[in-house]
Amino acid sequence: MSKVENLDKILDQFGPHLHDEPYGGWQADRVIDKVVPTHCPYCAVQCGMNLLVEKGHVVGFEPRYDFPVNEGKLCPKGVTAYLQAHHPDRLEYPLIKRNGMFERASWAEALDLVASKFVELQKKYGRDSLALYSGSSLTTEKTYVMGKFARVGLGTRYVDYNGGGGQQQGIRCRSRRKPLERHSARRGFVDRWGKCRGDLPDTQ
Ligand code: SF4
């Protein structure tokens, strides 16, 4: 028996829902009514891609040949990015856990709760009781704001994210402590395949 209360209900509500299919199932001969140029959101390379839309649903993708970063290529991870648009596990609004179950909340309510917990923790354990962990798909500007929020807003020394190499050095805390986390997409490829993804064939 599971030790997590209401596990079945939680799984049903939030997943993981495995083997989810795009709207209308897997089809090769779709009638696309809209093409939306955008970027892959999965890592900081931000490769250009077009989302293929049918009746208001994202049903496919194609790499952008006009985009100088990827020139018509996407890595094995990026080719699945479009599937998250309508995935049932996607979190689209704040949730607050009450009586063992997550309930939908307004943004104002969720942010007030988070801010009050930040204040409570820092009063009790000091400024460095909070660490800020960001993401490698952020742009340079967002990363800068994240660093400012950590150092000026929260006043903590601890800020990090899962990017690799130079980007990570750019945001990591100034205390010269080790980064909180060294994992990165590149690291994942090296661990799994023994190679950096740059050495692997791209999907065209
Ligand atoms: S390298 Fe892969 S994961 Fe990163 S943006 Fe390009 S397609 Fe997406």
Looking up tokens 């089809």 gives 27
Residue of 143, 141, 120, 144 whose CA lies nearest to 130: 120
pLDDT of residue 135: 76
pLDDT of residue 103: 93
Residue nearest to atom 5 of ligand 1 (CA): 46
Helix/strand/coil (H/E/C) assignment for every residue in 94-105: CEEEECCEEEEC
Question: d(Cα 95, Cα 103) in Å, to the nearest integer?
Answer: 5
pLDDT of residue 65: 95
What is the 8-class DSSP label of residue 170?
A: H
Give the gyration radius of the chain's Cα atoms: 20
pLDDT (tens digit per residue) in 57-84 = 999 999 999 999 899 999 988 999 999 9
Residue nearest to atom 7 of ligand 1 (CA): 78
Nearest atom of ligand 1 to the alpha carbon of 79: 7
Looking up tokens 């993401």 gives 135
pLDDT of residue 196: 56
Task: Please tell me the distance between residue 106's alpha carbon and the centre of ligand 1 in angstroms.
Answer: 32
Strands 131-134 and 158-161, sheet pairing: parallel
CB 47 within 8 A of CB 70: yes
Q: What is the pTM of this model?
A: 0.65
CATH of domain 18-86: 2.20.25.90
Instruction: Point out the residues of the chain with pLDDT beneath 70.
Output: 1-2, 162-204
pLDDT of residue 185: 56
Question: d(Cα 82, Cα 153) in Å, to the nearest integer?
Answer: 34
pLDDT of residue 51: 96
Residue 49 CB less than 6 A away from ligand 1: no
CA atoms within 13 A on the CB side of 157: 8
What residue segments make up the domains of the chain, in order of their start? 18-86
- 65-71: long-range pairs with CB below 8 Å, 24+: 69/45, 70/45, 70/202
Question: d(Cα 178, Cα 154) in Å, to the nearest integer?
Answer: 20
